[in-house]
Amino acid sequence: MDELPIGRRVAYWRGRRKMSQQVFADRLGKSKSWVDKVERGVRRLDKFSVVYEIADVLQIDVQLLLGKDVERRPETQNCIDQVEVEEIRAALERYDQMSAFFHPVPVAPPLTEMRKAVSHAWLTYQHAKYGVLARKLPQLLRDAQAADSAHASGEEARDAAHLLGQVYQIASSALRKVGEHELSWLAADRSIAVSQRAGDQLLAGMASHRVGMALLSLGRIRSALEVNVNIANRIAPMTSEAATPERLSVYGLLLLTGAMAAARIGDSATVRDLVCGAEQAAGALGGDYNYYWTSFGPTNVELHRAAAAVELGDGGKAIETHNRIDPESFAAMLPERRAHHFLDIARGYTQLGDVEKASEMLLEGDRLAPAEIRCRPLAHEVISDVLRRTRGTPPAPIAELAEQMGVGV
């Protein structure tokens, strides 16, 4: 990448962001012809202000456009930067080390150590420490792949496959947060195959959930809906004996993800049916738990009910749902879930035109889990919307947050 002309770099990152030339041009306030000429090298980019604007639209560090090493700034140390994304990509691309057929099996850490490392990675993700996670993920992927290759059969082989399947899911979730949807889909898809070798239907169900989330982010909404609903139907507990807490949790989360896909296409009837099904599963579960890292339970159902209302454009219903959530149960949720909810409710308030309350929600989310607000492209869109709708000078706290996020006031 370093040796490419800047126009080619612009084209590369535009492609990575799944933007057409027209969409990219619209966001820059330029013509499609201007973008085409820049990317072909016919028009020079000789103004730094324009280069910085392009980097902002592409959500990358300007140094990457200039072909220089990225300087990691302290204020973004808990986000996943493009250098770390490329390191994760490189770990996912090591096909030669995924099988002993192609490469001597590297020395793998003991499975007891791997279990601790994977558990810590899940907690790091669920506490929205994305920068910390990103710096550990490449090595964790390599270690998990090595452990999977080192154990050919028996119980240890299933354990190693189970751990690798989890690491792929962690990578998928983290990559989706920062807009790397294709990589997120790849990691989730890998997890499905590995989960089959692990012999764990519920792990495969969670892998399907990650695939559905990646497809949803890629705009493949009907595919996301079908994946989640079809797999939910296959693992639905048909008897009281089958209704284990783990199965109820995975089943319920698949229904909730399906509801989010249905909301994206405006199918309110399907949203209602799927959320009701998840509500029944949560009732049978009897509380909020974190089986299979789902954070599933009655409170998470309400969080998804509010999020689905936002996707349907009904900010009022989202706010009503938010206001009736039990504060004590909400406070017990993990930071990523709560901050994500505050972001959803901020979107709901912007739909109602209440930028003051939307700002409050963004600031609440930032206090709770800064990376969930500062690192996500969606949050950048929301705070940009808040700034556009604010009359006069925005309040100091929201202006400061916007500056730290790199969003122009």
- The residue among 93, 32, 87, 23 whose CA lies nearest residue 58 is 23
Rounded distance, CA 332 to CA 323, Å? 16
**Contacts of residue 387, Cβ cutoff 8 Å, sequence gap at least 6:** 394, 398, 402, 407, 408, 409
Rounded distance, CA 163 to CA 149, Å? 12
Classify 60 as helix, strand or coil.
coil
Question: Can you tell me the mean pLDDT for 274-284?
Answer: 97
% of the chain beyond a pLDDT of 70:
93
Question: Can you tell me the mean pLDDT for 221-241?
Answer: 95
Question: Can you tell me the mean pLDDT for 286-296?
Answer: 96
Rounded distance, CA 367 to CA 173, Å? 22
Higher-pLDDT residue of 8 and 151 is 8
Is 36 a residue whose pLDDT tops 60? yes
pLDDT at 351: 95
CB 157 within 8 A of CB 151: yes
Could you tell me how far CA 120 lies from the centroid of its own chain?
18
Domains and CATH numbers, the chain: 1-71 (1.10.260.40), 74-199 (no CATH), 334-409 (no CATH)
Higher-pLDDT residue of 121 and 19 is 121
Question: Can you tell me the mean pLDDT for 61-83?
Answer: 65
Rounded distance, CA 194 to CA 202, Å? 12
Is 328 a residue whose pLDDT tops 80? yes
Question: Can you tell me the mean pLDDT for 229-258?
Answer: 96
Taking only the tens place, the pLDDT of each residue in 74-110 is: 444 478 877 788 888 888 877 655 555 555 555 778 9
Residue that is written with structure tokens 């709560």 in the block:
338
Rounded distance, CA 29 to CA 56, Å? 13
Which pLDDT band holds residue 14 (cuts at 50, 70, 90)? confident
335 φ/ψ sector (left φ>0, alpha ψ -120 to 50, else beta): alpha
Residue that is written with structure tokens 């808040």 in the block:
386
CB 54 within 8 A of CB 10: yes
Rounded distance, CA 118 to CA 360, Å? 35
Question: Can you tell me the mean pLDDT for 36-43?
Answer: 90
CB 248 within 8 A of CB 289: no
Is 382 a residue whose pLDDT tops 50? yes
pLDDT at 17: 77
% of the chain beyond a pLDDT of 90:
65
CB 194 within 8 A of CB 100: no
pLDDT at 404: 87
Residue type, 159: D
**Contacts of residue 53, Cβ cutoff 8 Å, sequence gap at least 6:** 28
Cα(first)–Cα(last) distance of the chain, in Å?
32
Higher-pLDDT residue of 392 and 302 is 302
Taking only the tens place, the pLDDT of each residue in 246-260 is: 999 999 999 999 999
Is pTM beyond 0.85? Reply is no
Structure tokens at 382: 């929301």
CB 303 within 8 A of CB 279: no
292 φ/ψ sector (left φ>0, alpha ψ -120 to 50, else beta): left
Mean pLDDT of the chain: 89
pLDDT at 5: 83
∠ Cα 32 34 37 (to 5°): 110
pLDDT at 65: 77
Structure tokens at 92: 């996912």
Taking only the tens place, the pLDDT of each residue in 334-372 is: 999 999 999 999 999 999 999 999 999 999 999 999 999
CB-based contacts of 66-73 (< 8 A; 24+ apart in sequence): 66/6, 67/1, 67/2, 67/3, 67/4, 67/6, 67/9, 68/2
Taking only the tens place, the pLDDT of each residue in 127-182 is: 999 989 998 999 899 899 989 988 877 899 999 999 999 999 999 999 999 888 99
CB 281 within 8 A of CB 289: no
Helices 201-217 and 181-198, packing angle to 10 deg? 170
Is 64 a residue whose pLDDT tops 50? yes
Higher-pLDDT residue of 66 and 136 is 136
pLDDT at 1: 46
Which pLDDT band holds residue 3 (cuts at 50, 70, 90)? low
Q: How many Cα atoms sit within 13 Å of 219 on the Cβ side? A: 3
CB 134 within 8 A of CB 121: no
∠ Cα 14 403 121 (to 5°): 70
